[in-house]
Structure 1
Amino acid sequence: MARRSDTSCGGIGCAGLLLVLFVLPTVGYLLAVPLTLPDLLAEQTPPQQLRGFGQYLIVYAVPVLVALLLALFAGRRRAGGRWLVPARAAVLLALVAAALWWTESKVGDHPAWNLRATAESMAAGLVALAFVVAVRRWDASRGGPVTTVGAPRPAPGEIWLAMVPLREDPARQLRHYCVVLAVHPGHAEVAQITTKDKDGRTDHIRMPNDGWDKASGRAHWVEFGRPPRRVDYGMFLRSRPQGRCPAPVWRQLSRQLG
């Protein structure tokens, strides 16, 4: 056991070293390129400068693209409106600009371009790292649904974890396992699964754990004979199903669908 722990710690240490030595400076340089590149050109003999709209467009497009990618990467576990990623990218660019302004005030007069560029790149890289961590923690604290490259593709008969709307207030959702009853463009119809004892009720049937819940050992019940609940695909919390609905239960649910 101790050997595995040492290996794990070694792996974490190597990952941290790679992050500090390569990832942060590279990402930071790309975010800071509108500042570092003109500075580098000015150090040439004779001094050079950016010329023409095309060069300026490329230089300023690089940090925008990087910020968009970081915002998308940081928030990949949360669904949101179409403006969420651009808005977060704008916040990141503003934070980077503030960090670069502060760093420039400290090292801007240093004669060595390498030192100035390294300091500016690391400052921007550290801001990017803090931004990713903060967004991840914020989204996790709010229980946001997963978004992955390629939207989830539920199929009838599968069990998924999703944000399922409440019957009494469809505008509110809670995390629940559910059985996918039917799929449509943009959403699925599901039957909610619960661990609350529903024995003796006609609107729920007991559901075995076979094939989908091998860990908790808890009893489950699934809605039966009630109108399905609508769940948008962006509200599914995983990239794959938990498992298949046990065959006897699925046969009963299928009969009610006609």
Structure 2
Amino acid sequence: MIFAFGGTEIVSVAAAETQNPAHSVGKAIRTVVWRILVFYIGSVFVIAAVLPSDSEGLKSPFAGVLDLAGIPGAGAAITLVAVVALLSALNANLYGASRMVFSLSERGEAPAFLSRLRGAQVPMAAVGVSVAFGFIATILELLFPDHVLPALLNLVGSTCLVVWGTALVSQFILRRRADREGTELPLRMKGFPFLTVFGLALLALIFVVGFSNAESAGQLIGTFLLIACIAAACRIGAKVKSARNA
């Protein structure tokens, strides 16, 4: 269930393009929690309460519940909902990916043309690169079925844990610094530092459970190695850039 929260960090990326980030981000975060409680946990509760454990409807649980309720066209309705959900996820991830590419370009860690803005201040080149990656991944999945997609899904899951851990550590350090210096923050998280420490402890527990399983341990180790390689490449690139400017 923890991975149901994956993608909520895109809210912080979108904050840079809103007129009132403090209000918009706070409102978005609060509504995300309720949406997950209703649409994820609530729907699973309904499925568990309605369908028996040996029901054939568990092969497609949402359609099974609708069929049991006597609603015609349940399969088509669920398919339509799934397509809309996938398009929504695609849109959100395309937005996040393109803005990350744009940010890397602005910091000199990606080609300069990726930070060019077109039209309504949209980084079209960064969007195009992000879309191209999606097409390449799709083609690779067609060429190597049941290999590329599972690898990407596993990478996303383990990367989410790393991103959340990094965000919590950063928030803990920066919030303490702001409180120490008396900096007025437009958006303050309640329950600090207890909720931050609780989140870190929860992530640590997930990592422990993950490393106890051979398959998930390999995924986590692979993610850490990939992050280490990226960090090393960024460090080397920064040194090369510094040497050129010297």
TM interval, shorter chain, is: under 0.3
TM-score (norm 1): 0.26
TM-score (norm 2): 0.27
Q: Could you say which structure has the higher helix fraction?
A: 2
Larger RCO, structures 1/2 (Cα 8 Å, 6+ apart) = 1
Q: Could you say which structure has the higher strand fraction?
A: 1
Q: Which has the larger radius of gyration?
A: 1
